[in-house]
Amino acid sequence: MGENAAGEATTPFDGLLLDVDDTLVDTRAAMVAAGTAAVAALWPDVAPEVHRAAGTHFHQDPGGYFTKFTTGEMAFAEMRAARVAEMVRAHGLTEVADVATRFEEAYRPAFRDSVRLFEDVEDLLEQATAAGIRVGALTNSDERATAHKLELSGLSQAFVTVMTTDTLGFGKPDPRVFAHACELLGVAPERTLCVGDHVEVDALAATRAGLHGVWLRRPGPGSPRREELAADDEALARAHGIPVVSSLAEVGPILTGGHASRPERPRGPAGLGPGGASGPDLGGGRAGR
Ligand SMILES: [Mg+2]
């Protein structure tokens, strides 16, 4: 892996860990579409704008239930039911018996029909494989939902390992998750690149765990608030020497030591290096699954 016959390293990295949601798969679009369809199925008499607003609310998860799942405080089904209940309250929807089950039944086929892989994924996987780099998926979603998403996207066989929150009972940004993923991949953390769309949970947490984080800032539907948040995230990444890319096409050269330089390891204040003290709350909470 990443070395020639003499055992000398030929690439800066031996391992690549990729987040799944909104990094490989356009989960945000699929979740909003499926949430909208599920609300329309359960509350057909409500205006279409409300279907869309409630479906978007379900994805955005303002109650932070997805974070509770990633820290092991909530089971996956419980987390999803809590999000549905909160959405019902927030949008003044009428009570429906067995609402969580019926929502999921309507949501599932709509999600299946909406999910798609980003166009830049396959090329990166091919480049990594050609360079002898071992590739794993590391997601905060659960095992079943992830297997389903990867299957729908044609990525079932693409990874040496797929690590989910179920693996250890908690997820990113806990540094133990990154260490365990490297172990499963058979690579050293300091020779592993980790790419994801969440600056804290993916890129910064990986860097703090001794890997090399890269923040993927995908262009998306813009709003002033979203732009503001993205600008804050970018400043955070830059402050820690974390490369910022807008497409996975930019990751290949970093991975193989091509056109882009190898990312700088963070230096400076305590708590930024491997095993360092914990930093600010990395709970995230945006765009939960
Ligand atoms: Mg993600």
The DSSP line for 260-282 is SPPPPPP-SSTTSSTTPPP-S--
Position 275 in a domain: no
When pLDDT is cut at 50, 70 and 90, the band that residue 10 belongs to is: confident
Q: Using the mean position of ligand 1's atoms as its centre, give its distance from the Cα of residue 181 in Å.
A: 16
**What pLDDT is stored for residue 44 in this prediction?**
97
Query: 187 lies in a domain?
Result: yes
Same structural domain, 239 and 130: yes
Task: Please tell me the predicted confidence (pLDDT) of residue 267.
Answer: 38
**Do 20 and 162 share a domain, yes or no?**
yes
Residue 100 lies in a domain: yes
pLDDT, the chain, mean: 88
91 plus 183 within the same structural domain: no
| CA–centroid distance, residue 157 to ligand 1 (Å) | 20
7 belongs to a structural domain: no
Structural domain includes residue 160: yes
Model pLDDT for residues 34-81, shown as the tens digit of each residue: 999 999 999 999 999 999 999 999 999 999 999 999 999 999 999 999
Distance 140 CA to ligand 1 centre (A): 8
Return the pLDDT at 289.
Answer: 65
Quick one: 190 and 162 in the same domain? yes
Q: Would you say 150 and 69 are in contact if contact means Cβ atoms under 8 Å apart? A: no
Distance 164 CA to ligand 1 centre (A): 12
Pair 88, 126 in one domain: no
Q: 213 C-alpha to center of ligand 1: Å?
A: 13
Question: Same domain, yes or no, for 85 and 181?
Answer: no
Residue-number span of the structural domain to which 157 is assigned = 15-26+116-256
Cα 198 to ligand 1 centre (Å): 6
Residue 143 CA to ligand 1 centre (angstroms)? 15
User: What's the average model confidence in pLDDT over 158-177?
Assistant: 96
Q: Is residue 207 within 8 Å of residue 266, measured between CB atoms?
A: yes
- Tally of structural domains, the chain: 2
Same structural domain, 101 and 180:
no
Of 61, 81, 114, which closes a domain? Answer: 114
Answer whether residue 242 shows pLDDT above 80: yes
User: How far is ligand 1, taken at its centre, from the CA of residue 24, in Å?
Assistant: 8
Give pLDDT tens digits for 115-154: 999 999 999 999 999 999 999 999 999 999 999 999 999 9
* CA 51–ligand 1 middle distance (angstroms): 24
Let me know whether 94 and 210 are in one domain.
Answer: no
CATH code (residue 222): 3.40.50.1000
Q: Band of the pLDDT at 20, cuts 50, 70, 90?
A: very high
Same domain? 138 vs 74: no
- 36 lies in the same domain as 77: yes
In a domain, 89, yes or no: yes
Task: Record the tokens describing residue 184, joined without a space.
Answer: 């499963």
Q: What is the whole-number distance in angstroms between the Cα of residue 197 and the centre of ligand 1?
A: 5
20 CA from centroid of ligand 1 (Å) = 6
Amino acid at 241: G
Distance 18 CA to ligand 1 centre (A): 9
58 and 186 belong to one structural domain: no
Distance 248 CA to ligand 1 centre (A): 13
Cα of 231 vs centre of ligand 1, distance in Å, is 18
Report yes or no on 261 lying in a domain: no
Q: Which residue has the higher pLDDT, 238 or 221?
A: 238
Question: Is the model's pLDDT at 165 over the cut of 80?
Answer: yes
The share of the chain scoring above pLDDT 70, in percent, equals 84
Confidence (pTM):
0.84
Domain membership of residue 279 (yes or no) is: no
Which domain-ending residue is among 79, 114, 149? 114
Going from the Cα of 134 to the center of ligand 1, the distance in angstroms, rounded, reads 20
Distance 205 CA to ligand 1 centre (A): 13
Classify burial at 93, counting beta carbons within 10 Å of its beta carbon; exposed 0-12, middle 13-18, buried 19 or more. middle
Vertex 243, ends 238 and 245: CA angle to 5°?
Answer: 115
Last residue of a domain, one of 83, 114, 145: 114
Compute the distance from residue 162 Cα to the ligand 1 centre, in Å: 14
Report pLDDT for 5: 62
Does 108 lie in the same domain as 43? Answer: yes
Residue 216 CB contacts under 8 Å (≥ 6 apart), including other chains = 19, 23, 195, 196, 197, 202, 245, 246, 247, 248, 251
Would residue 187 be called left, alpha or beta, if left means φ above 0 and alpha means ψ between -120 and 50 degrees? Answer: beta
Q: How far is the CA of 46 from the centre of ligand 1 (A)?
A: 31
Higher pLDDT, 277 or 3: 3
